[in-house]
Structure 1
């Protein structure tokens, strides 16, 4: 069974075809059982799914290698350059754990691969915990490198969702809260360095406020940048689609012009044969069918040669109700023994949208309906529905449907 949906949404991509600023958005084919009715419980149209952030593994691996070498350098300089005592073995173990994870991720995943949002969030959460372990060994919030808690949160705010960023912010503030009063002494000269409680509380407030501010501000700026990028991509796709439609329209007009002369010759020959052959001849019916099909081809070529961009929008029949356009597209494809039903239904109080009688729309819908008529057993239904936001044309038939191998390739050029 074939079930095809043509979804017409309120966009400006094909304004020439839809004066009401709608466009032919998507065509899907699927077995009827997998597509529910229009009761709103399940959508029969493939919507644009919400984009989930994906981060290149190579980017996070590179950032972590920089952090590993920086941490190692700081530990070695303090231990051997300044001569201050610190738990060297434990600190090196924390750094080694980060290096092992980096190597494991590099070998198990392709470097050019991408991590899902929550995989990247878990990756950054490990960085927060590893930094907290190092700070615990080296003085807690009194360590100047405590500001590095802002690093993973900043990266998350730039590329991940607000939920992932909020999780990392809570984790960073929680670690800072624990480190404020639970840590080993800060490495220092003989006698040590002890910071006042109010100063430590001030450091904690600085880390917490900095984390929340950067998470909120950078996340908002990055989201706005992504929206602008998505809008630019949509415009580029619309322009590319318009160029393709213009090229197809020019090719169709050229084909109609080139085929006009030989088709006219065939038409004249068919008429001569129809006059010469007696009605009682066994070939008379074949010649009559040939002439009718030639006339049909001439009508098709005439429509293909008509450019919708040059059409006068003030013409009385330049636009029509969507149901009338669908009926015009289906008119040529009615067949004996197949019932073709058309139903138009408004889902709200909005009026039925108007659509231009463009060759692209007529032939696009006509091809879908023709396919259903050819493979239907007894019935083909064309359901037109609309609301304030979108219009939908659904073509169903009771035929066998596409095989799984064909379904996987539908939509490919």
Structure 2
């Protein structure tokens, strides 16, 4: 009885008590910190948008030079302009190489990228009329992006640099050569440039700001999901601690019951006590099953995963689990239907997953003892289980909140079975959903990725 009376706290299968340095706690904290890092994963996405915008800017500048020379006959200084545009293209190639790395883009790096764009725009404007160039308004574009993405300090810094560049271009610039083709075309280059500047600003600001807003919304969704996952894990940890205490206290009563049933079976022998012997035998079997469950709890007390560790084909695993359940519920009939390729994937037997399946079978048996079905289909990648009954079914609100909190339709139920089953299945990458069954009843559908359970 040492396994049931030990003072060491034990943990129920599928639940681990969080301890400092625990891998699960570390992964939980890492997930939250990854979601809350600033700018976090949106930083690289923003840099990718800036890369696309810069490609458009290079193409637009080349197009503007062609239009100015061919349509308006404006003789621009081509050599310095092409050198500046070529340098901007080289910067964008380096940016593309930077995007291939796994490292995220921080705010300072993004600020440096915007400063490169401001520097290139300043150089182009210097050789094309300075502040008199209608495209000088493009200075507002990187400033708008900075206000959307960066913190206020960096935005004000970029605003100051932009104002200095604009001010410098008011007195330092190469005058724009006169247009020789304006009279022939009937278009004023200044008016056309102002219109084109408005179009470019509108399109690029819409593209970038809309993308930034979606990135921020996605970040908020990620943060909300991380917080919800953390709260759920904290609830499971608290439940594990309570379960460990309850398991510690159940060892002695079960040992007493086992002793009493043994004495009763020895005392009341004979044909006249055959029915009593049968009932005592069933009681002793259930007590042994409880002791076995407590033994598994004690075995996982050190935080180890509750699994047998041997490799079996998926069909054999399901049949073994079903056999364990039939020993617990001998009076319930079940119709198994297992379908899959002959070359069955081999998986590590996962005790917590077996208990989750048994929990769903128990729920189905409680709802309709004579009409329980277990359907399973698998391929090389996925395993889909369905445990169906012909009971009264669940309300839509209950189906929507499955696994989120303890829930029970039984008069004396605690609502922990399906809650823990959902947690165990989710831990191995699976999903659980409750569906209405045609003709009445409920189907608990479990989708499992076999790569998380595979032995290879």
More helix by share: 2
Q: Scaled by the length of structure 2, what TM-score is found? A: 0.40
Of structures 1 and 2, the one with the larger relative CO (CA 8 A, separation 6+) is 1
Q: Scaled by the length of structure 1, what TM-score is found? A: 0.44
